[in-house]
């Protein structure tokens, strides 16, 4: 009874805290400018199934793809166990699904155990990739401090969770022999059963303690994870779905139009202008409020995997630009501004800072718009859009930008060509 009470209170507290955390994330994403996404539902759903559910892009790098898949599959299937744990916790039963599901229950738990073992192997490999092999893409400056700790913490949590599952299941099987009325039969569990075989000399109290400890650790790790998620890159486990649904389906090579500027130029040439429903008075993005909510959703969906940075030609040749750092900075800035506005209870409050305090001009101007980052991202993030939007803001609103570009701009204005040449545009045919 006490256990049931404890469990219910704890669950209530956890979900309250989690709700707050997730609401903040939602608030921060909605700092972004409105952008209407419509149509093409079929294509969008397909995109979501293929890339979020099916993890298609993860398999482009087969080794990490497969190991990540183990963790992913184990995570999904453990949710069934979680449902049982919560049901048990609330009702005070033990393994509430075991009897009704019978043989299928045995199959299910065995399956989860196998996945958990594979996930354990993957977790160890991922930990060593970050901390022993020190894969280049995990050693970039933007990962120093909290981001690498975040990654390691979750991997350690995962190990703890798997150990808890095996402890619980192995002790449980021995208890099923000692007290079959209390502990419904799960049938033989092959992996944890190997441990059970060594437990027959253990006293009953000890086994009960093992089983309960495993159960509570399981619950606590999962609950910890839930409140931790809004602060972690692991938010991608949820956000990958909406993100791939809302991801851009327009051709990669087209930049978004700015109708206000189009109209101004049309006016200059005496051409018919178009009606703009909600005109903007600033162009490009100098802060998260000028990016669309879609780009902020992308920033919150970023897994910090660095696949984008590892193929970025600028980063590969030692420039400061890292598309991953761009996405991480956008999230950091959204966090900061969101916090500020909530504190001041004012949805328009400004703190005097902007995105340029996080992302330098040196970074945005090093981009070749090659789209390698866009191609590489497993969750369909487009780091190029914010880079180009920041350029737009810098050039159109601040009249800044590399001075090297001035001759090109002048020449385009005066000669309608990137170079100023004295010869005619078609003189090449006579050379």
Site residues (vs ligand SF4, CB under 6 A)? 302-308, 312-314, 321, 323-324, 327, 367-373, 376-377, 379, 381, 383-384, 387
The SS3 call for residue 29 is helix
Q: Does 408 bind other proteins (CB under 8 A)?
A: yes
> Closest approach of Cβ 69 to other proteins, in Å?
21
Residue from 372, 379, 381, 385 in contact with other proteins (CB under 8 A): 372
Q: Does 40 bind other proteins (CB under 8 A)?
A: no
Q: Does 36 bind other proteins (CB under 8 A)?
A: no
Query: Which token pair is 153?
Result: 């913490």
Residue from 42, 100, 203, 318 in contact with other proteins (CB under 8 A): 318
CA angle 301, 304, 307 (to 5 degrees): 110
Site map 191..210 versus other proteins, x via CB under 8 A: --------------------
Cβ proximity to ligand SF4, 323 vs 338, nearer residue: 323
Site stretch for other proteins (CB under 8 A), options 37-45, 325-333, 337-345, 412-420: 412-420
H or E element that contains 45: helix 41-47
Cβ proximity to other proteins, 148 vs 282, nearer residue: 282
The SS3 call for residue 258 is coil
Q: Does 149 bind other proteins (CB under 8 A)?
A: no
Residue 161 · residue 142 · CB < 8 Å: no
Q: 104: Cβ–Cβ under 8 A, 6 or more apart, which residues?
A: none
Q: What is the DSSP string of 183-248?
A: S------HHHHHHHTT-TTS-HHHHHHHHHHHHHHHHHHHHHHHHHGGGSGGGHHHHHHHHHHHS-
CA 324 to CA 345: how far, in whole Å?
31
Site stretch for other proteins (CB under 8 A), options 10-18, 75-83, 298-306, 414-422: 414-422
Q: Does 269 bind other proteins (CB under 8 A)?
A: yes
Residue from 54, 92, 180, 402 in contact with other proteins (CB under 8 A): 402
């Amino acid at each position: 009874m006490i256990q049931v009470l404890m469990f219910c209170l704890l669950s209530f507290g956890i979900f309250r805290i989690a709700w707050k955390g997730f609401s903040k994330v939602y608030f921060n994403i909605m700092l972004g400018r409105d952008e209407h996404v419509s149509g093409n539902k079929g294509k969008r759903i397909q995109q979501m199934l293929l890339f979020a559910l099916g993890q298609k892009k993860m398999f482009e790098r087969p080794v990490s793809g497969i190991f990540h898949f183990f963790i992913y599959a184990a995570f999904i299937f453990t949710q069934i166990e979680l449902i049982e744990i919560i049901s048990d916790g609330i009702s005070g039963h033990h393994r509430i699904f075991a009897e009704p599901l019978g043989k299928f229950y045995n199959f299910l738990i065995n399956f989860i155990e196998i996945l958990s073992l594979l996930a354990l192997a993957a977790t160890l490999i991922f930990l060593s990739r970050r901390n022993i092999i020190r894969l280049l893409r995990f050693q970039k400056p933007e990962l120093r401090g909290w981001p690498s700790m975040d990654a390691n913490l979750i991997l350690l949590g995962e190990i703890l969770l798997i150990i808890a599952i095996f402890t619980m299941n192995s002790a449980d099987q021995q208890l099923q022999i000692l007290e079959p009325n209390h502990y419904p039969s799960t049938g033989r569990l092959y992996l944890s059963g190997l441990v059970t075989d060594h437990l027959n000399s253990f006293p009953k109290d000890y086994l009960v303690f093992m089983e309960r400890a495993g159960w509570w650790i399981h619950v606590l790790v999962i609950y910890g994870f839930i409140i931790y998620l809004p602060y972690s890159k692991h938010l991608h486990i949820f956000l990958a779905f909406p993100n791939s649904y809302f991801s851009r389906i327009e051709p990669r090579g087209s930049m978004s139009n700015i109708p206000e500027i189009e109209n101004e130029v049309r006016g200059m040439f005496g051409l018919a202008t178009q009606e703009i429903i909600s005109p903007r008075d600033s162009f490009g993005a100098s802060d998260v409020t000028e990016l669309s909510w879609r780009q902020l959703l992308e920033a919150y969906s970023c897994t910090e995997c660095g696949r984008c940075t590892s193929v970025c030609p600028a980063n590969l040749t030692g420039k400061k630009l890292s598309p991953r750092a761009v996405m991480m900075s956008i999230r950091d800035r959204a966090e900061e501004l969101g916090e500020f506005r909530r504190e001041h209870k004012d949805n328009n409050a400004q703190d005097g800072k902007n995105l340029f305090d996080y992302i330098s001009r040196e970074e945005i101007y090093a981009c070749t718009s090659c789209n390698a980052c866009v191609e590489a991202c497993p969750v369909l993030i487009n780091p190029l859009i914010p880079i180009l939007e920041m350029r737009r803001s810098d050039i159109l609103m601040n009249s800044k930008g590399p001075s090297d570009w001035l001759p090109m701009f002048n020449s385009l204005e005066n000669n309608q060509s990137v170079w100023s040449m004295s010869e005619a545009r078609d003189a090449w045919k006579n050379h």
